[in-house]
Amino acid sequence: MDVLVLAARDAPGASGALVDEERTARLVAAARRFSGVVDVLLPAAADDGAARMAADGLAALQGVRRVWLAADARLTGWLAEPLAALLADVVRCEGYARIIGDSSLAHRDVLARLAGLLRAPALTDVVDIIDADTVRRPMYAGDILATVGIRSELAVLLLRAVAFAPAEKIAEEAAVEVVVPEMPGNLPCPVELLEEEAGDSSGRPDLGRARIVLGMGRGAMDTESRALLLQLAEKLGAAVAATRAVVDEGLAPNDWQVGQTGKQIAPALYIAFGISGAHQHLAGIADAETIIAVNTDADAPIFAAADHGLAMDARKALKALLAELGEHVPDE
């Protein structure tokens, strides 16, 4: 069953690269489970050196047959409307049976439109592929893991990329072809990208890729705890996440939110400060390797999900950790 993977775009300002190669490698590894041809489509504003370099990188991923480098000014910013129309064109011409992206907001934007154009089902948050017609996905914010049968020849799948190990890179000489498709003249472009501004200029690692993430909950959102948590993040080279409660208070930007309606992350270490552990939050950290929880309430649900727990005040724990790491901390 032939598969088309939409390359994962790097967050604007994250690394300067066009494409998030690691996330795309995870999608490619998942796509290989369909046991057919795996092609990747990389949208770019122009067929220039940066686009070619990104395409070559994807072409070297194990299992990829071809990279479509779709280069056109109308695709600047990977706008959903023209990109979905282009993908529909490529899918119809090439006869792919499965189209794969990740569960990021950007891919949801594009692939929901694509499913509509193709009149195909779209399955979100897929975490496992059993066979070409059977996948697994959480429902009710992770309370249920559902096995879903696909009863359609054509389907769009949005995967939780972090649930799949990335495809390896193979030797340069094994790299496959990069094809620049002819762009349709009638791509619908009802909107135009005027400007993109990076949301986070802190220099901290990207939340989706960080090995260590510090989570800020309502119990650690007071001014002092927040400052200490950011100091610890700086010291550890960690990214910072927040619960929806903190985001709703306006004390953290939207793109820090982790959970059912936020991001799904898979760090090696997640430290939850003052987070109760609502299942909507836990849905975003299910793939974290190790979870440490700090909460004054020893009965908080977060402790059931955590590998290690500290029943103590978040501010005191943050101070103790910083002191242990040789950082200057203000006296009580």
The reply to whether 300 sits near ligand FAD by the rule CB under 6 A is yes
CB 274 within 8 A of CB 219: yes
Whether 239 contacts 253, CB under 8 Å: no
Q: Summarize the chain as % helix, strand, coil (round to 5).
A: 35, 25, 40
| Contact call for residue 276 and ligand FAD (CB under 6 A) | yes
Q: Is the dihedral of CA 283, 5, 36, 165 positive or negative?
A: negative
152 binds ligand FAD (CB under 6 A): no
The three-point CA angle 102-115-37 to 5° equals 60
Taking CB under 6 A as the criterion, the residue among 42, 83, 275, 291 binding ligand FAD is 275
**In this complex, which beta carbon is closest to ligand FAD, that of residue 224 or of residue 307?**
224
Residue from 62, 124, 152, 261 touching ligand FAD (CB under 6 A): that is 261
CA distance to 9, 80, 162, 211, 292, per residue, from 21 (Å): 8, 20, 13, 17, 29
Q: Is 278 in the site for ligand FAD (CB under 6 A)?
A: yes
Torsion sign, CA atoms 287, 289, 292, 298: positive
- Of 2-10, 76-84, 168-176, 278-286, the window that binds ligand FAD (rule: CB under 6 A) is 278-286
CA distance 163 to 119: 27
Amino acid at 188: P
| C-alpha to C-alpha distance for 263 and 186, rounded to whole angstroms | 34
The answer to the question of residue 292 lying near ligand FAD (CB under 6 A) is no
Cβ-based nearer residue to ligand FAD, 218 or 226: 218
Other beta carbons within 10 angstroms of residue 228's beta carbon come to 24
Q: Binding segment for ligand FAD among 8-16, 119-127, 197-205, 274-282 (CB under 6 A)?
A: 274-282
Answer for which of 77, 101, 142, 262 binds ligand FAD (CB under 6 A) is 262
The Cα–Cα gap between 11 and 316 comes to 34
Taking residues 205 to 234 in sequence order and writing x for each that binds ligand FAD by CB under 6 A, - otherwise, the string is: ------------xxx---------------
Decide: is 281 part of the binding site for ligand FAD (CB under 6 A).
Answer: yes
Residue type, 248: D
Residue 246 binds to ligand FAD (criterion: CB under 6 A): yes
Residue with tokens 């109308």: 74
Would you say 166 or 215 has its CB closer to ligand FAD?
A: 215
Identify whether the C-beta of residue 261 lies closer than 8 Å to the C-beta of residue 125.
no
Contact status, residue 127 vs residue 160, Cβ threshold 8 Å: yes
Interaction between residue 166 and ligand FAD (CB under 6 A): no
- Region 66-125 residues binding ligand FAD, contact defined as CB under 6 A: none
Stretch that binds ligand FAD, among 94-102, 160-168, 170-178, 295-303 (CB under 6 A): 295-303
User: Residue 218 Cβ, how far from ligand FAD at the closest point, in Å?
Assistant: 4
Binding status of residue 280 toward ligand FAD by CB under 6 A:
yes
Residue 264 contacts ligand FAD per CB under 6 A: no
Interface positions with ligand FAD (CB under 6 A): 217-219, 243-246, 257-262, 274-276, 278, 280-281, 284, 294-297, 300, 313-314
